[in-house]
Structure 1
Amino acid sequence: MHSRSALSASTTSFTPSFSRRSAAIPNKQGTKAIYTVNTQTPGSHANITETRIIDLLTGTSTLFSDDPWDKEARWLGKRDLVLWLKDVEFGATEFWIADAEDVGQNFVNLKTLSRRASVGPSCMQAASGYCAGRIGAKASHLKLHRLRNQHDDIAIAVACPATSNGNLYNPGTDGFTSEVHNAIWYTTLRKKAMSSSTGEQKYITSPTRFVNALRGTGLESPLRSPLGHLTDFDISTSGIVFLAKDESSSPNHPGNVNVYYIPLKTFTEMSRPRPQIINVKGFEGRSLNPVFSPSGDSVAFLKKQELADSNDRNRVMVINNIRYFRAHKASDDMPTQQSEKAWHLSPYSIAWSDNGKELYVVAVDVGIRRLFKLPANLSSIRAAPEPITSDSTTPADVRHLRMVFSAPMDISSEHFSMG
């Protein structure tokens, strides 16, 4: 039998830890997925962040990087290459690439280049990793899309702070200013031969600098926290779609949140067309979650009908042939009026199927997050959608089920409204 003092000692020596895992993002083949685990130990104030790769066939999870300044890892769409952001010295951000095939086999022990992190222990990272480019500010909301042009370029876009004149803002080098706005910055990754003798090619950022897509527009995107989410903008072969408040917005008149579209072809355009607002006839409320179809031909998003009614539900919208979009055209909402009973739920997240023929939406039904599938041709809907998952703990036998866990959820009455 343990003594009371021994029990007390063993009890006090136990330090609980808490882990939070991001959504696992599958690669194109559906064989691997990448995710981040953050583990915190309150007593010791330890905070460990790991980027990991899980083999979806075996369930084996392997370390990809444990550098605390690595973030937002994404599949590049070429083989098993991974692109991620790394916070570095003087408040800048680097774009790094490595091959997931190296995970568990070839690692290097390195000190992160970040001045802030260099005081910590060495980090592990795939040996094939290299820096593909740099932007002189803190970047987030990484988006990428293969353009399939003659150079097989990959378009990339990030959110970075900008000054009132549209230049990059870095508080470490520019000092303090109150005139700072969120902006979307874009460029491309292109293969370049590293050596004439070996013929080795690596992706690097375009020789042209990052371009501020919102310069001179008076618009800001992503929306400021806590409203801003990774789903505030998207990119494709057709350009950029994003959420922003009306240009007339002010602290006294906050205005509405709408979807805007910027047509781009190469993502190396130094001058780009002015953003076009996507209006929907009869729908004046807030927009949410714009996302391109896999082909880039269509855009889906959510929108409320009423501007002033906070309990109004979100409707699903689809704009086809987005390349030919003109602001004076409008789309119809999901024709629930053709159902026996209008769909009473309010979706808050939306994604396309891989073939672009269906839409997956997440909605709260009787307090449970559920996943629904809709035909992308909204006019073919004749009945209220049925859930394809019964609850949020259903095993992940559907690729898009990760939406149930990863979709940003604003806990408010609108998601529980029976409208």
Structure 2
Amino acid sequence: MAIRSMRFTPDVLLGAPRRSSAVPNTAGTLAVYTQTSYSFESHSKTNEIRVLDIDSGQSALITNDPGASNPQWLGDKDQLVWLKTKGNGNTSFIVGDAREVDKTYMAGTVPGPVSDLKITNIEPGKIGFAVSGKANPDGSLYNPHDAKKPYTTGKLYTSLFVRHWDAYVEPQKNAIWYGLLEKAPLSPARRQAGKYSVSGLTNLIAVSGLNGVESPIPPFGGTGDFDISPTAIVFIAKDPDLDPATHTACSCYYAPMFSWTGMSSKDSVCRVQGFKGLQGAMSSPVITSDGGSIALLAMQIDGYESDKNRILYVPNPWNAEMIEVFESSDGKGSWQLSPSAISFAQGDQSLLINVEETGRGVLYDLPLHNIRSAKPDALKQLTRSGYVNDVAPAAANSSKLFVSGSSLVDNSLWTIIDPANPDDVRVVSSNSRSGSTFGLSSSQVDETWFRGAEDHPVHAWIVKPSNFKPGEKYPLAYLIHGGPQGAWNDQWSTRWNPAVFAEQGYVVITPNPTGSTGYGQPFTDGIRGEWGGRPYEDLVKGFEHIEQQLKYVDVTRAVALGASYGGYMMNWIQGHPLGRKFKALVTHDGVFSMTSQLASEEQYFPLHDLKGPIWKVPENWAKWDPSRFTENWSTPHLIIHNELDYRLTIAEGLAAFNVLQMRGVDSAFLTFPDENHWVLNPENSLLWHRTVINWINKHVGLPTLSEEPDLSQGMASMSV
């Protein structure tokens, strides 16, 4: 039985079970998923593969092996296959029965770490699979456990991308590998009779002769970068002829699988690229069940990672016909929204489209029968609240859909919907019982609109304390999102969760100013060349709106917090009049000096947003530089910056903290030597939350958390 938490604290947030999306079996009776949790008592992580009985809502443990991952249905009754990493770096394929969890066996082992397992049923007893894994320069599977240690630590580079996200770039590259899981014939003489065995692995990129191609695309690429069918594999990769640090241009590759144990000719791979000026990034390639057609998302502008995604439909990859769905004569596309993922449905007769829309993650259905002339009014909206993370058929040969999602108060919600009647929603499972196990409810969540820069409407979410009382006033926590082309959505998060701040006694307001996604591409594009301009004006007007319209908010006790671009905005606000409205600020991994962006890895980002390189448009780089206004810095300020953040180097945080200290401003500096742009280790994240919350609470007069950070255990504390 789930026990209601007395208070939604950081410990509860970080220790609560985290579920993946769930995938039903072909009968629609069971759904498999992974679940992780962390215990702050034992300081240990639990990793599980579980199966949910869809009718009863009860779940059963399949395995709690810490190396188990990527469970998939084999299609044979209730059989599953999953990956298991071993101490020597190898990966085993484990087969088991969902209803007889003690009956498992190893189908085979490959000599290195692989992940992102996808499978496809070729014929009874014969299953094709694809995984991702690092490849050595010679095309073999890379196993760091077997790699020879060099005699020197030196690294010599002669091109951009010295390091990416949180690691130095190495010779090994991501690759897609394929093979067969084949069932041995039933024979008393064979020990493996009736059991699956792994054929081995083939490097798809190497045997295709695609020199320089890397897929999935680092650092975040995974199963969304490729798809498989019984007869073909489709995948995307950055254009190998262009520098990945300054370009986002991609190609899509279609590889027919005449044999799942090898490939006869490198010429058999078809390359899809550059449709009618769509020269930018690609994502979400999907393939029909017969392998005959593909669809994908493509951007127009090379070098702009937040350009609008267009839907491309390719009826036959071998001929030149490519259809841009919702194409318009002006080249902008007739649908203003930017899809984030697509998938085939209804026997490949329609496309399911995931898209951000006004602070929500919405699912749409688009029939394919008139795809060449389709207009946005052909879209059918299937969801209206929360955020859809994934969607799968509820059962084989069923029109119903199994949807995995979340909301601002519910960390995992699984539902079944019927596209014919999307208002008829069956709740299969809510991990937090609609937030009640955390002491949260949807009644805490509200939203507001106000007029921002150039009188443009701006949307914001409001999250109130669970014990909110009308007539009382509460201090304001103003949260600014990163990106900057991003958004606050009706979605769960374990890194920046508005509810965990609200439960301290704040009214949390999360505005989506100029540059935010989900409000039309012109609004997203409006931040270009305006980093401290229109978005800052939106935030000023948003604060005025709160002061004038939300009488339950005490703006005299306000704090502001932000990470990445939100951290930039904290530093910008600190040097401008809005900064005097707050009692305290928090910058996590933010920009201090725009010129330091030249130390970042993905240089296409500042090149696009600042309209060119520094030697051509130095005035653009200088105009929005927070360090130019440090003479105004006076608001108490917590700076957080991590040493493995190669997107915004730690010098940014140190410089901001040093300025604050030299100016005599109440300030503190928190750093994690083993974290990147985010804080992912649960123990580190708990310290992060305690430090941040105690900092802002101190400055608005709220109680500190019951347990202060222990500075004597693994963390040095020094003051002068």
C-alpha distance in 1 between matches for 2:11 and 2:282: 45
C-alpha contact 2:361 2:387 (8 A) present in aligned 1: no
Q: Which amino acid aligns with 1:159?
A: S
* CA–CA distance in structure 2, aligned partners of residues 238 and 73 of structure 1: 22
Aligned residue identity for 2:520? M
Q: 2:381 aligns with which of 382, 387, 412?
A: 387
Could you say which residue in structure 2 is the equivalent of 1:204? Answer: 197
Matches of 1:299 and 1:240 in 2, distance apart?
10
Match of 1:113 in 2: none
Distance 1:369 1:197 in 2: 54
Unaligned 5+ runs, structure 1: 1-10, 103-125
Alignment of 1:108-257 (within 5 A): 126-148=101-123, 152-176=125-149, 178-193=170-185, 195-196=187-188, 200-206=193-199, 209-215=200-206, 216-217=209-210, 218-226=212-220, 228-250=221-243, 253-257=246-250
Q: Distance in 2 between matches of 1:299 and 1:270?
A: 21
Please point out which of 252, 255, 258 is paired with 1:262: 255
**What's the counterpart of residue 23 of structure 2?**
25
Is residue 2:283 matched to residue 1:292? no
Matched-pair contact (CA < 8 Å) for 1:34–1:52: yes
Could you tell which deviates more after superposition, 86-95 or 262-271? 262-271
CA contact (8 A) 2:89 2:145 kept: yes
Structure with more relative contact order (C-alpha pairs < 8 Å, separation 6 or more) = 2
Distance 1:188 1:272, change over 3 A: farther
Q: Larger C-alpha radius of gyration, 1 or 2?
A: 2
User: Structure 1 35/252 Cα, relative in aligned 2: closer, same or farther at 3 Å?
Assistant: closer
TM-score (norm 1): 0.81
TM-score between both structures, scaled by the size of structure 2:
0.48
Partner of 1:93: 91
Write out aligned runs for 1:25-44 (5 A): 25-44=23-42
For the residue of structure 2 that corresponds to 1:285, the secondary structure is coil
Kindly provide the amino acid, as one letter, of the partner of residue 401 in structure 1: V
Q: 1:399 is matched with which residue? A: 401
For 1:216-365, what aligned pairs fall within 5 Å after superposition? Answer: 216-217=209-210, 218-226=212-220, 228-250=221-243, 253-274=246-267, 275-279=269-273, 280-322=275-317, 325-326=318-319, 329-337=320-328, 342-365=334-357
2:58 aligned with 1:60: yes
CA distance in 1, matches of 2:40, 2:241: 45
Structure 1 residues 270 and 310: alpha-carbon distance in aligned structure 2, compared to 1, 3 A threshold: closer
Q: 1:359 to 1:159 in 2, by over 3 A?
A: same
How far did 1:211 drift? 0.9
Deviation by residue 1:370-413 (Cα, 9 ceiling, x = unmatched): 1000112422523432421111279x99525237879xxx8735
SS in 1 for 2:313: strand
1:95 match: secondary structure: strand
Secondary structure at 2:403's aligned position in 1? helix
* SS at 2:384 equivalent: coil
Distance 1:76 1:162 in 2: 27
- Structure 2 distance, partners of 1:386, 1:176, is 56
Compared CA separation, residues 49 and 315, structure 1 to 2 (3 A) = same
Q: 1:140 to 1:311 in 2, by over 3 A?
A: closer
Structure 2: how far apart are the matches of 1:222 and 1:344?
A: 28
Distance across 2 between alignment mates of 1:250 and 1:393: 34
Partners of 1:50 and 1:213 lie apart in 2 by 31
Q: Which runs of 5+ in 2 are unaligned?
A: 1-6, 151-169, 395-399, 407-411, 414-482, 487-514, 522-720
Give the match's secondary structure for 1:379.
Answer: helix
Residue 197 of structure 1: CA displacement?
A: 5.6
> Cα–Cα, structure 1 residues 403 and 247, in superposed 2: closer, same or farther, change >3 Å?
farther
Structure with greater helix percent? 2
Quote the offset at 1:143 in angstroms. 1.0
**Relative to structure 1, is the Cα distance of residues 283 and 250 closer, same or farther in structure 2, using a 3 angstrom cutoff?**
closer
Deviation, structure 1 residue 131: 0.5
The alpha-carbon deviation at position 265 of structure 1 amounts to 2.0
Q: Is the 8 A contact 1:294 1:354 kept in 2?
A: no
Inter-CA distance 167–388: structure 2 relative to 1 (3 Å threshold): same
**Contact 1:310 1:414 (8 Å CA) reproduced:** no
Answer yes or no: is the 8 Å Cα contact 2:134–2:141 preserved in 1: yes
Q: CA RMSD in A?
A: 2.9
Instruction: Determine the C-alpha separation between the residues in 1 that align with 2:337 and 2:257.
Output: 35
| CA apart distance, 1:273 | 2.9
CA change 1:348–1:360 in 2 (3 A) is same
Larger strand proportion, structure 1 or 2? 1
Which of 44, 69, 83 does residue 67 from structure 2 map onto? Answer: 69
What secondary structure does 1:164 align onto?
A: coil
Q: 1:352 to 1:252 in 2, by over 3 A?
A: closer
Q: Which secondary structure does the structure 2 equivalent of 1:242 belong to?
A: strand
**Aligned counterparts of 1:371 and 1:145: Cα–Cα separation in 2:** 25
Q: Which amino acid is the alignment partner of residue 292 of structure 2?
A: D
CA–CA distance in structure 2, aligned partners of residues 18 and 258 of structure 1: 40
Task: State the shift of 1:257 in Å.
Answer: 1.9
**Structure 1 contact 248–255 (Cα < 8 Å) conserved:** no
Q: CA deviation at 1:277?
A: 1.7
> Conserved in 1, the CA contact under 8 Å of 2:33 and 2:50?
yes
